[in-house]
């Protein structure tokens, strides 16, 4: 089994594996559902067994206990060999308590990357501003309870609010990112401030965003590289300079995803996908219809 390459974050030598296994879309549970779902634990154990080292969870997914069970039942993958992300949102009013709860549910004593899940809360209702929430995350980082801190679904405006007060800049912004949602201005901002873009929804052009102008390009590149459409899109996300987060319950799909570490797209093909991708815009998450 090959090891997953990593990228250095802007926080004290922390390295993030370039592909992560998501607990959010295939596996989330209804809010308030306290029953353990063994299928989620099994899928996560499988993800670990095929070689995923980076797990992407969140308070909102309701499945930190299942993720914790997968970790405690897999002692062959020591904590230090894993990169665990979780996110807070509902409990944004009290980040310190939210982190304690997540640590307990996950059964770990630190988180590798702690993210604010989205910037869309009502600051009056929650009694906390983006700036105050960020300062609280900095406090958790100072204590060593989280090795790196970042955000998710933030735009330039919200990142600027953080930058103006930050001692520690976000290490990562996890956003929906694929050829049909490239947001070059945000990417440029990330580059200028050393923020890694973690791309979720990388397969949208062949799932919810299909059909589209990229269909024939992906087919042509699948033949050229002898790789599946899934692999072409996941590899594109990496070769475009991002970390990529994907998911599946199926072992063969997990292996298919991890096998992208074994090839690379030529720069002209990365550019071709970028160019043709810009002909369509398709956003799935956190738009007006999206219900968390």
Ligand X SMILES: O=CCc1c[nH]c2ccccc12
By annotation, the residues acting in catalysis are 61
Q: Which of 135, 253, 255, 280 binds ligand NAI (CB under 6 A)?
A: 253
Q: Is 33 in the site for ligand X (CB under 6 A)?
A: no
Q: Does 285 bind ligand X (CB under 6 A)?
A: yes
39-58: which residues touch ligand X (CB under 6 A)?
Answer: 58
Spell out the long-range contacts of 126-133 with Cβ–Cβ below 8 A and sequence spacing 24 or more. 126/92, 126/93, 127/93, 128/92, 128/93, 130/158, 130/161, 130/162, 131/161, 131/162, 131/164, 131/165, 133/92, 133/95
Phi-psi region of 8 (alpha: psi -120 to 50; beta: other; left: phi over 0): beta
Comparing every residue's Cβ against ligand NAI, the nearest one is 22
Binding residue count for ligand NAI, defined by CB under 6 A: 25
User: 161: part of which helix (H) or strand (E)?
Assistant: helix 156-165
**How does strand 19-22 pair with strand 146-152?**
unpaired
CA distances from 229 to 170, 219, 225, 236, 248 (A): 32, 7, 10, 11, 15
At its nearest, how many Å lie between ligand NAI and the CB of residue 149? Answer: 15
Q: According to the binding rule CB under 6 A, does residue 200 interact with ligand NAI?
A: yes
- Three-class secondary structure of residue 25 per DSSP: coil
**Of 39 and 143, which CB lies nearer to ligand NAI in the complex structure?**
39
**Shortest distance, position 143 Cβ to ligand X, whole Å:** 26
Among 3, 81, 100, 207, interactor with ligand NAI by CB under 6 A: 207
Q: How far apart are CA 292 and CA 286, in angstroms?
A: 8
Map the footprint of ligand NAI across residues 103-162, applying CB under 6 A. 117, 152-153
Between 24 and 179, CB nearer to ligand X: 24
Q: Counting contacts by CB under 6 A, is residue 61 touching ligand X?
A: yes
| 11 annotated as belonging to a binding site for a ligand | no
Radius of gyration, alpha carbons of the chain: 18
Q: Which residue in 242, 240, 241, 234 sits closest to 261, CA to CA?
A: 234
Question: Using the rule CB under 6 A, is 56 a contact of ligand NAI?
Answer: yes
Residues found near ligand NAI in the complex (CB under 6 A)? 22-26, 56, 117, 152-153, 174, 200-204, 206-207, 229-230, 245-248, 253, 285
In the annotated binding site, the residues are 117
Residues found near ligand X in the complex (CB under 6 A)? 24, 28, 58, 60-61, 285, 292
In the annotated binding site for substrate, the residues are 117
């Amino acid at each position: 089994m090959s090891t997953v390459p990593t990228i250095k974050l802007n926080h004290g030598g922390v390295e993030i594996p370039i592909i992560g296994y998501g607990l959010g879309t295939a596996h989330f549970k209804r809010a308030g559902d306290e029953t353990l779902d063994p299928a989620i634990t099994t899928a996560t154990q499988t993800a670990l067994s095929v070689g995923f080292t980076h797990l992407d969870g969140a308070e909102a997914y309701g499945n930190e206990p299942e993720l914790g069970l997968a970790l405690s039942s897999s002692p062959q993958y020591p904590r230090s060999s894993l990169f665990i992300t979780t996110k807070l949102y509902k409990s944004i009013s009290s980040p310190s308590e939210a982190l304690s709860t997540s640590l307990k549910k996950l059964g770990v004593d630190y988180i590798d990357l702690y993210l604010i899940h989205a910037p869309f809360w009502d600051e009056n209702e929650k009694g906390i501003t983006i700036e105050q929430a960020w300062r609280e995350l900095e406090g958790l980082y100072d204590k060593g309870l989280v090795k790196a801190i970042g955000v998710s679904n933030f735009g330039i405006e919200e990142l600027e609010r953080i930058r103006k007060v930050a001692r520690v800049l976000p290490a990562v912004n996890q956003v929906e990112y694929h050829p049909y949602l490239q947001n070059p201005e945000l990417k440029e901002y990330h580059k200028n401030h050393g923020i890694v873009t973690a791309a979720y929804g990388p397969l949208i052009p062949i799932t919810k965003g299909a059909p589209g102008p990229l269909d024939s390009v992906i087919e042509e590149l699948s033949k050229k590289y002898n790789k599946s459409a899934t692999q072409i899109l996941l590899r594109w996300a990496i070769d475009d300079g991002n970390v990529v987060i994907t998911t599946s319950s199926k072992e063969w799909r997990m292996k298919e995803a991890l096998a992208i570490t074994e090839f690379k797209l030529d720069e002209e093909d990365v550019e071709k996908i970028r160019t043709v991708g810009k002909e369509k815009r398709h956003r799935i998450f956190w738009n007006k219809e999206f219900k968390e």
